[in-house]
Amino acid sequence: MGIFSKLFKGPEVDVEKSNANARKMRLLFDQVVENGGDYRIIFGYTEDVARFNYGFVHGSKTRIGNLIVGWNEAPQTIVVVPTVPDLSGCGDPTYYRRSEILKAYRNKYPTDAFIIYPDKKSYIGINAYDWLEDESLYVYVSQEGELSAFTEFFMNQFAKK
């Protein structure tokens, strides 16, 4: 029974690796965001799907952008910091303050992404999951608790029509 239960258990999270990456995410976030310690953070990503048709060759290209997503309940602000799967560095933060954005909602189809429109012309779709195994594409971090806290904040405090 032991062997079979192990076989059917599926992949398991490497807690040590996940914790190390969570620490790196925090270091990066605090480095670029003022009062970063006031924010709770999760890992998220954006997906940019572009279709192409080059004559007899056509298909689609997907570009994935890794993000450290921070949120602070008091000022109702979400901060997005671009990063890379190995967390070797990060870009400049973008702030989405509820009072300044146009609208924010959770998508239902094709993915349950968190959508924020800062204005009429642009939007960001943040995908976030408990854990993504593919380290070459995504930051390896287990974040079940944090993700549910973020979802609750987004749906109950940040969402705007």
Partner 1 sequence: MSLGTIGAFLVVLLLVFVVGNLWFHLVEGVLKWLKGLFRGRKEPPAWHPLPPEQEDDNS
Is there a contact between 104 and 116 (Cβ–Cβ < 8 Å)? yes
Q: Which residues bind partner 1 (CB under 8 A)?
A: 23-24, 27-28, 31-32, 54-57, 82, 87-92
Least CB distance to partner 1 at residue 29 (A): 10
Least CB distance to partner 1 at residue 86 (A): 9
Q: Which is nearer to partner 1, 31 or 107 (CB)?
A: 31
In the sheet with 124-126, reading across from the earlier edge strand, the strands are: 103-106, 114-117, 124-126
Q: Which is nearer to partner 1, 6 or 23 (CB)?
A: 23
Cα-Cα-Cα-Cα torsion 84, 90, 91, 93, nearest 10 degrees, comes to: 110
Least CB distance to partner 1 at residue 114 (A): 23
Contacts of 109 (CB under 8 A, 6+ apart): none
Least CB distance to partner 1 at residue 88 (A): 6
Q: Which is nearer to partner 1, 75 or 89 (CB)?
A: 89
Q: Supply angle C-alpha 134, 140, 146, rounded to 5.
A: 125
Q: Which is nearer to partner 1, 4 or 52 (CB)?
A: 52
Least CB distance to partner 1 at residue 85 (A): 13
Amino acid at 133: E
Is there a contact between 127 and 150 (Cβ–Cβ < 8 Å)? no
